[in-house]
Structure 1
Amino acid sequence: MKCRHFLFACSLLLTAPFTLANSSEFVIDDIRIQGLQRVALGAALTYVPVQVGDTVTPFRTKQIIRSLYSSTHFENIELLRDGQTLVIKVSERPTISSIIFEGNDDIKDEQLQESLDGSNIIVGEPLDKTVLTSIENGLKDFYYSIGKYSADVTAIITPLPRNRVDLKILFEEGDAADIAQINIVGNEIYSDEELFDQMELKFGAPWWDFMSETRYQQQTLSGDMETLTSYYMDRGYLRFAIDSTQVSMTPDKDGIYITMNVSEGEKYTVSDIELVGDLIGQDEYIKAITPLRKGELYNQAQVTYAEEFLSKYLGRFGYAYPTVTTIPEINDDDNTVKLLLSIDPGKRIYVRRINFEGNSTTADDVLRQNVTQMEGAWLSNQALETSKAQLSRLTYMEEVEFDTVRLPGQEDQVDVNFSVKEQPAGSFNAGIGYGDRTKLSLQAGIQQDNFLGTGKRVAINLNTVSYQQSVQLSYTDPYFTIDGISLGGSISYSEFDGSDFNVVSYNSKQYSVGANIGYPINAVNRINFGLTYANVELFNRSFYEQTERFYEQFLDESNPDAAVKYESLQASVSWIRNTLNRGLFPSAGSSQRASFSVTTPNSDVQYFKTMLDTKFYFPLTRSQRWTVLARARLGYGNGYGDVNGVEQIFPFTENFTAGGSDTLRGFENNTVGPRGVQRTSQSTIGTPDGVAIPGNPENDLLFTSQRSLGGNAMAIAGLELIVPTPFLDVEYDSSVRTSLFYDVGNVWDTEFDYDAYKDLSLSVNSDPLLDYSDWKNFRSSAGLSVQWVSPMGPLVFSFSRAIKERPGDDAKFFTFNIGQTF
């Protein structure tokens, strides 16, 4: 019996697989893979570098194992032999079911996931456990670099059914170590305090100075070292060097000591400047414009600027990739340095094609009209920057960027790719309202600056309130010709009834037709000419001192209540200059618009009108999120000549007005300025024949209206600090803007005779009489403005407080406007 059991055991041993490590070479009759779960057999066999008929050798064994591991699907591999069959026994890597981050405050989940993606630690992919250790160490190094030396990172793997795992990465960030002290050793020329002022890292800052960076950060320290080096080298210390830097910790790991050992050296003066290389035939000019001078102290910033300046200059001539290198020849005997500027312009680069992407609405031809860089011409960095600026000024462009792509195999050709991001190209307004004065009001209008993607501007506006109904159509083609000549026109009709508005009471009907043409002077300057015919009818007038002077020249003595009608032909010229970096919400540059219009001598009314509107944006930070806006608007108009012996005056219908979102915030729309003045006789003397004779004019009563009549002169100014909008990321800066503002200004009447009315008594309920000819009766306000480019167009919300107001003014804390931004 025992012998039979022994023979059975021997037979099992002979037929069982055994490891190849203990086997001799053999020829493969079959290949069998065991342990596959997720990986398909066919996919696994593609990583096996042998096939049936091959001979298994020790070298082939290592090759098979190495190839299977390289597939990243397996974490354990064993090779066995079963007769002439190669048996590959594998254990698959577990699949990542979920990744959880816990305890991370300094690093966002998105940043961590991006880092893991680079190591192929992704949900649904196999988990390579060997990578986790390097990830843990890398994250710890990051925390150490920002002064958190007690930080710890641990990866926890939780097995799940079906060979899956949950991966949790736990963070114990701890507190960052503060800088206990910074020591600079070796400085004699500049004191510690002077050098500390240049550094971003601080120590010993008072509690109220919360802006100081007292936490140690390795990257910030590197930046401070570069800053100190530049500080010295920009002042002539060419040999300055930071010999060593030591960073040590306090025993409790709460404090950091930083010590920098520096060598200041001596001041060096520029003894000579020599330009060598290919100066593209512009030798004398390049030498003249090089911003470096003999006899001056060496200045590293000036040297860098000179290199960049010369590179940009060469770029204007098509040398897009020049190399400008400064080689200093230092003479330590007399502390001088000779600067050798080596210039290699490279090959002149030509533009093969200009491409646009991102413009889903605007046609390529419209964008190409604003590009000064031409296809087939040499590449000019100046032309590209000008093109970008002109595209950015389009109101329907939010962002514009460009890059140049060198063509494979073509050393002298590039493609220029403009990437644009469009934004709403117009505004739509519609509303219904009710007010004590306006009663029922309806408004509707649409303006499209990029009509059907053609770049043409089309607008229609309808307005109806209890006192006015109007309609206006306008059209402008900014590129009527290929040279950039614009052509436009407008037609409008309006009816006005002031009887319910408690202002200068009159009715009017007016229609007008106009056309304009514009000529570009250069990339930033333009001049426009216009001609407008207007037909005006005034009736049901009320009697105000200022308006009667205008009515008198048209009155029919036989029918004094008849309507007043007049026609005019108005010629205008305007100059526009625009260097703004964007069409909407600019943050740098300036814009100016000056206009002058005058009615022709054959018109029924003869007057002129001039205006100046200017804005300047001064960015305070490199990102331009903090910007100062200074703006001003000036206007003046008056009559000229005489008609039928009657001296012409400025029509009151053309008066300037102020107040509201686009002029003086904090005051009701169009309420700032002169009021309508009425003078009423209080007594009459009867004659025997019953004719009434007015009494003494000195007894007349005076009444001033509650609303502004406007004036023929205006001066408005404003100062704004544009700030990042709270709670919104930087990506919203192109659609939402927040600013703190101060507005000041006035509207006045230069022809008003205050002395003729100042001694008269005021009637009951009359506002006080002011000298409406005095420009010094200004108003001012301050507050907060929020502007939003909504799908309906620009919306402006202003919260303001009147600082300086005059009797009778209608101050408003909140104002709202559609379609106008600063």
Structure 2
Amino acid sequence: MKLNQTLFALLFFVVTGSVNANSASDFVIDDIKIEGLQRVALGAALTYMPVKVGDTMNGFRIAQVIKSLYSSTHFESIKVLRDGDTLVVQVKERPTISNIIFEGNDDIKDEQLQESLDGSNIRIGEPLDRTVLTGLESGLKDFYYSVGKYNADVTAIVTPLPRNRVDLKFLFEEGEAAKIAQINIVGNEIFSDAELLEGFELGFDPAWWDIMAETRYQKQTLEGDMETLRSYYLDRGYLQFRVNSTQVSMTPDKEGIYVAINVTEGEQYNVSEVEVTGELLGHGDTIRALLPLRGDTLYNQALVTYTEEFISKYLGRFGYAYPTVTTIPDINDEDNTVKLTMRVDPGKRIYVRRINFVGNDITKDEVLRREVTQMEGSFLSNQALEVSKANISRRLNFVDEVEFETVRIPGEEDKVDVEFSMKEQPSGSFNAGIGFGDRTGLSLQAGVSQDNFLGSGKQVGFNVNTNRYQKQAAITYNDPYFTIDGISLGGTLSYSELDAGDFGLVQYNTKTYRIGGTFGFPINEYNRLRFGVTYENEELAQRNTYEQTQRFYDLFIDPNDPDAPIKYDSFVLSAAWIRSTLNRGLFPTAGSNQTLSLSATTPNSDANYYKAEFNTRFYFPLSNDQRWSLLTRLRVGYGNGYGDINGKDQFLPFTQNFTAGGAGTLRGFENNTVGPRAIQRTTGTLTDPNGDPVGYGPLSDSLFVTERSIGGNAIAIGGVELIVPTPFIGEEYDTQVRSSIFLDVGTVWDTEFVYDDYKDLSLDSLSEECLLDFADPGLYRASYGLSVQWLSPMGPMVFSFSRALKEQSGDEVKFFSFNIGQTF
């Protein structure tokens, strides 16, 4: 178009340029006039003129003027004329785009369309080049054709406006996408069409229940399916498999697509030998010993690729970040074998100049840097970088996502910068709200907590919580890096009141004051030890008399005031071993976590007891994207008293008993109701045959077994949980929503309970089935169901739908439970 306009202008100048007799002759420019300017300033237009006053004008210079002015993109048409010795340039400016409108586009978002137009300089405020509109229409139609919409049409409509402006409207008629009527594979004899098509994303004639099946033709998806087909054969030894052609044809009504794939399967090959050559930097024996690929095996392309990556990653541990591993096949068609020669070029050893952090708007660099094992100035180690990434994800709960990349330094062949980019998530909260749970009832919460105080990584909190059964206030502090070596220091000051009856336990009230401190130090990347000391003052009041609690009360009761609350002081020493290889702190999908904790009161405490507990969780990813994962978990614990008071053996305080039921332990059962039940024993008056009282005695003993649990000094709980993608929720929300199918199994028992002391006593009708041998760990419970956890704006929410598989007499089961505003 521009060439035609240039030729026209030249012809116009020669034929009609001027009535002057010397119009076809060269002349010296005495003045320059540009006519028709509206938006473009005269000075700006003159800057594009390759001639000036005093220059000699000729045919060559005319072509230069026209070409230069068109290159400015401001003008739609240009005429060059001569008026005496004055050079006259008449221009028509391109109209300015006042507005861009998209109408009828459902498959393409406005933002995507605008990005495409930006590449052609079509945007509001810019001059409109009409010559590119036809190309844009064709390009958009090609996009629709690639997704099977062969009836689609795109029309650009230009509407003139005053002051040389235009509205630009793109009208889309998308139509319906053509569906795949059939996919045929021609030339396959070893594998059936059904076997080969099973791995395709594209499909046809899906089952009625398969609502997620993709039956619309898409060119890019078909190309991906071709790679899947090649991999299917190459991974099964068919080294010379070929896709000869792919034909896509359309029905006359443009609503159906037929796909025909012509293949040559070839023969199946075995690997006769694997040879590793090149510069192996003294690690040749180790690489060959650990090589995943071996001779005398069926050829597998996926294994070949994995072996190349294995060698590259192994060399990357020693600073050779960009090695090249090339596999050369030597095919022997006589015996259908192939010798694989893997040539290794490690390249230069790479050193780290600087480590940078991006995206940490709140967290200080030093908080992140102390989790990084890759050192500046040392050689680059991909193993150290992966460990550093895992440390940041696992240890810093206020970091949601973290990735790293190496950036080559211009002019430096052996140096790189490492850049960690991350996305932070809220690390603290100010609570002033209400929550509701099916067991806890209405709860009021207020407090402040911060896991990343002022970006320092320190944890500071002040919380006040109250609900139907508990009131609690606590101040907490923890510095995970009190020293540069990773020694942590923390402390807690708290007060709480508990009404155990409303908590699902037997009736008693407690008031507890607690102050303590902890410190810990790392053993290595995954293991840590923690020690602590805590002073506790506890008061028990409003107690009912139960067999399992009375033995503890008897140690501290005041004979002169048996109904008064009992108080006792304890100094608790604790130690814990923590091991974690989880891939992230919140909603992990891979790795494991183990915790072994031991605690005991000092001999100078009023109550002498000890407790031991072991918790473990294993996450096994079931898919490459780790959206499917299997969780197995186990918790076991035991506690008891030691020593005696006035000749009476000490017991584990029943306030320290293990309990189960509800979220976190055994779903499908009411909170804290699983385990030994409290027993009340009464002694009646003995009478003679005439009914006259003769005294008291054990023959008149009777028992009442409550519906409430007292807990036990031993616990064993386990479970299996299949973590699945939450339906209708995208992958980007996996750190906020988690769905799982679970099986919970567990039991709580009392090793100090003696069943023989009670089995022969009289029971009321309600207690006959509830008196069990509470010392028997075989009295287990089990449940299964579905759980959804959501970190909502108002706080964590847990929804569980469950059924009891195994229950004991008197158990309280429930199908649905939820909690709002409580941690889980």
SS at structure 2 position matched to 1:235 = coil
The 1:464–1:152 alpha-carbon spacing in structure 2 relative to 1, beyond 3 Å, is closer
Shift of 1:754: 4.1
The 1:155–1:770 alpha-carbon spacing in structure 2 relative to 1, beyond 3 Å, is farther
Matches within 5 A, 1:532-611: 532-557=534-559, 560-561=562-563, 563-611=565-613
Residue 415 (structure 2) aligns with: 413
2:340 paired with 1:343: no
Note if contact 1:96-1:126 (Cα within 8 Å) is conserved in structure 2. Answer: yes
Note if contact 2:669-2:811 (Cα within 8 Å) is conserved in structure 1. Answer: no
Shift of 1:652: 0.2
The 1:692–1:798 alpha-carbon spacing in structure 2 relative to 1, beyond 3 Å, is farther
Residue 6 (structure 1) aligns with: none
SS at structure 1 position matched to 2:228 = helix
- Residues 185-213 of structure 1: CA distance to partner in whole angstroms, max 9, x if unpaired? 32222233322223333334344433333
Residue 396 (structure 1) aligns with: 398
Note if contact 2:34-2:89 (Cα within 8 Å) is conserved in structure 1. Answer: yes
Q: 1:488 aligns with which of 490, 494, 505?
A: 490
The 1:618–1:57 alpha-carbon spacing in structure 2 relative to 1, beyond 3 Å, is farther
- Whole-Å separation in 2 of the counterparts to 1:21 and 1:136: 47
- Whole-Å separation in 1 of the counterparts to 2:463 and 2:819: 18
SS at structure 2 position matched to 1:169 = strand
2:179 paired with 1:178: yes
Shift of 1:293: 1.1
For 2:402, the aligned partner's letter is V
Which deviates more, 181-190 or 304-313? 181-190
Residue 49 (structure 1) aligns with: 50
- Whole-Å separation in 1 of the counterparts to 2:744 and 2:436: 29
- Whole-Å separation in 2 of the counterparts to 1:440 and 1:692: 53
- Whole-Å separation in 2 of the counterparts to 1:375 and 1:428: 39
For 2:410, the aligned partner's letter is P
Shift of 1:318: 1.0
Shift of 1:16: 8.7
SS at structure 2 position matched to 1:286 = helix
- Residues 792-815 of structure 1: CA distance to partner in whole angstroms, max 9, x if unpaired? 7x4114253554666362748442
For 2:649, the aligned partner's letter is E
Residue 382 (structure 1) aligns with: 383
Shift of 1:64: 1.7
- Residues 597-618 of structure 1: CA distance to partner in whole angstroms, max 9, x if unpaired? 2334454433222223333334
Residue 63 (structure 2) aligns with: 62
- Whole-Å separation in 2 of the counterparts to 1:32 and 1:546: 110
Residue 291 (structure 2) aligns with: 290
SS at structure 2 position matched to 1:552 = helix
- Whole-Å separation in 2 of the counterparts to 1:144 and 1:359: 44
Note if contact 2:29-2:86 (Cα within 8 Å) is conserved in structure 1. Answer: yes
SS at structure 2 position matched to 1:412 = strand
Taking structure 1 as the reference length, what is the TM-score of the superposition? 0.89
Shift of 1:391: 0.9
Residue 137 (structure 1) aligns with: 138
Shift of 1:747: 3.4
- Structure 2 unaligned blocks of 5 or more: 1-14
Shift of 1:379: 1.0
The 1:672–1:164 alpha-carbon spacing in structure 2 relative to 1, beyond 3 Å, is farther
For 1:247, the aligned partner's letter is V
Residue 787 (structure 1) aligns with: 790
The 1:740–1:48 alpha-carbon spacing in structure 2 relative to 1, beyond 3 Å, is farther
Residue 819 (structure 2) aligns with: 816
For 1:27, the aligned partner's letter is V
SS at structure 1 position matched to 2:68 = helix
SS at structure 1 position matched to 2:422 = strand
For 1:115, the aligned partner's letter is S
Shift of 1:328: 1.5
Taking structure 2 as the reference length, what is the TM-score of the superposition? 0.89
Note if contact 2:508-2:542 (Cα within 8 Å) is conserved in structure 1. Answer: yes
- Whole-Å separation in 2 of the counterparts to 1:307 and 1:424: 41
2:95 paired with 1:91: no
- Whole-Å separation in 2 of the counterparts to 1:719 and 1:650: 31
Matches within 5 A, 1:519-538: 519-538=521-540
Matches within 5 A, 1:743-782: 743-758=744-759, 760=761, 769-771=770-772, 772-775=774-777, 776-778=779-781, 780=783, 782=785
- Residues 559-618 of structure 1: CA distance to partner in whole angstroms, max 9, x if unpaired? 545554433333322222222222223233332222222334454433222223333334
- Structure 1 unaligned blocks of 5 or more: 1-13
Residue 7 (structure 2) aligns with: none
- Residues 79-125 of structure 1: CA distance to partner in whole angstroms, max 9, x if unpaired? 11122222121111122222222222222222222211222221222
Q: 1:511 aligns with which of 513, 523, 527?
A: 513
Shift of 1:383: 0.9
Note if contact 2:804-2:813 (Cα within 8 Å) is conserved in structure 1. Answer: no
- Whole-Å separation in 1 of the counterparts to 2:635 and 2:343: 51
The 1:117–1:664 alpha-carbon spacing in structure 2 relative to 1, beyond 3 Å, is farther
Residue 277 (structure 1) aligns with: 278
Matches within 5 A, 1:304-343: 304-343=305-344
Which deviates more, 67-76 or 433-442? 433-442
SS at structure 2 position matched to 1:592 = strand
- Whole-Å separation in 2 of the counterparts to 1:53 and 1:729: 70
For 1:445, the aligned partner's letter is G
Note if contact 1:581-1:589 (Cα within 8 Å) is conserved in structure 2. Answer: yes
Note if contact 2:685-2:700 (Cα within 8 Å) is conserved in structure 1. Answer: no
- Whole-Å separation in 2 of the counterparts to 1:182 and 1:440: 60
For 1:670, the aligned partner's letter is N
- Whole-Å separation in 1 of the counterparts to 2:80 and 2:567: 108
Which deviates more, 336-345 or 19-28? 19-28
The 1:499–1:358 alpha-carbon spacing in structure 2 relative to 1, beyond 3 Å, is closer
SS at structure 2 position matched to 1:107 = coil
Shift of 1:621: 4.1
The 1:382–1:433 alpha-carbon spacing in structure 2 relative to 1, beyond 3 Å, is closer
Which deviates more, 33-42 or 21-30? 21-30
Shift of 1:654: 0.3
SS at structure 2 position matched to 1:681 = strand
Which deviates more, 403-412 or 496-505? 496-505
Note if contact 1:15-1:82 (Cα within 8 Å) is conserved in structure 2. Answer: no
- Whole-Å separation in 2 of the counterparts to 1:65 and 1:723: 66
Shift of 1:741: 4.9
- Whole-Å separation in 2 of the counterparts to 1:749 and 1:18: 120
